[in-house]
C-alpha cells in the first residue's frame, strides 16, 4: 500500500503530514467503525475486508518514516 493511499484511507488529505498520535487516533476510530464483530453475519465479509485494509494502512504509516518526511 502506498503512503498517500494509506493517508486517505485513514481520513487524512494525501499531502498532509499527520503526527503519530493523529495516525493512531484515526486508526482506532476507523477500526472501531469497521470491526467485523459489530456487523450482522451477512455484512461481516465486507467489514472484515475494510478492517484489514485499515490495519494495513496503519502499518504502512507507522512502520515507515513517512510521517516525518
40: CATH: 1.10.287.110
Please tell me the predicted confidence (pLDDT) of residue 69: 46
Residue-averaged pLDDT of the chain: 88
Model confidence at 64: pLDDT above 80? no
> Mind listing the pLDDT tens digit for each residue in 1-22?
888 999 999 999 988 899 999 9
pLDDT tens string 12-52: 998 889 999 999 999 999 999 999 999 999 999 999 999 99
In whole angstroms, what separates CA 23 from the centre of its chain? 8
Q: How many domains does the chain have?
A: 1
Residues 39, 47: Cα–Cα separation, whole Å: 7
Supply the range of the domain harboring residue 43.
Answer: 3-68
Amino acid at each position: 500500500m502506498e503512503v498517500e493511499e494509506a493517508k486517505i484511507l485513514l481520513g487524512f488529505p494525501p499531502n498532509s503530514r499527520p503526527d503519530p498520535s493523529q495516525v493512531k487516533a484515526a486508526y482506532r476510530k476507523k477500526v472501531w467503525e469497521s470491526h467485523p464483530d459489530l456487523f450482522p453475519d451477512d455484512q461481516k465479509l465486507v467489514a472484515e475486508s475494510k478492517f484489514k485494509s485499515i490495519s494495513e494502512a496503519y502499518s504502512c504509516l507507522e512502520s515507515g518514516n513517512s510521517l516525518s518526511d
